[in-house]
Amino acid sequence: MKVVSYLRVSTSRQGDSGLGLEAQREYIALAAMQNDWEVIAEFIDTVSGAEAIENRPEGKKAIALCKAEKATLVAAKLDRLSRDVEHIAGLMKRVPFKVATMPNAEPLQLHIYAALAEQERVFISQRTSDALRSLKKRAEAGDQRALKKLRSRAQALEVGRTQENREKAAKAVADRVTNFHRHLEPQIQACLYTGLTTLAQVADCLNGKGIMTARGGVWSATQVKRVMDSLGLQFKQV
């Protein structure tokens, strides 16, 4: 069987350095050897997987050659063709294709795999959003570990922005939390001055003063502890 090898990387840096290309090439070469495929050409795109393959510069050429030579398009992995199930469905109508990591899978099976993968990405995205909301809430309440995690995730949360801007975004979150804590410090000190000895009592004191948390809620002992730890405040020794 004649096959046309198609490789894709997402950035020019990856394309220039060859990062990922050799691994894709090896997958296809191994599958070709095991299945007696004849690789007649290779095409490489440096584009996002969000673009349909027929709209990519080298993807167009690969499809055209497959049609002219009655060959099968082969990619190392399904996501090198596309991450979008609609794109995979469209490709099924244009040319036969194979995936080196699943050489025996038929296009219909690959379409099903693509649909499942897309659904899983939706679930992961939702779980990630929920986790980030929880992380921000904890950071605003003074959880130092949450603040560190937010800083470390700044790059992922600010995709496409420069390193400088990502650092500024993380710093802005940290500064906002720090300023809120400084605003609270006199109020907590006043509560402590009255002789309170437990976190729950301090929470009741703040709630009694009508002081709300950063998210506009009522105080709990856990939230008070986070803020007191952040400010280095302690109960007065009796």
- For 120-147, the pLDDT digits (tens) are 556 556 776 777 777 778 877 878 887 7
* 56 alpha carbon, distance to own chain's centre: 24
Say what the alpha-carbon torsion angle 78, 79, 80, 82 is, to the nearest 10 degrees.
Answer: 100
What is the arithmetic mean of pLDDT over 95-118? 81
Angle between helices 199-208 and 163-193 (to 10 degrees): 90
The Cα–Cα gap between 151 and 121 comes to 24
CA–CA dist 58, 47 (Å, integer):
10
Mean pLDDT of the 180-203 span: 89
Calculate what percentage of the chain has a pLDDT beyond 90: 27
Which of 12-16, 101-105, 170-174 tops mean pLDDT? 101-105
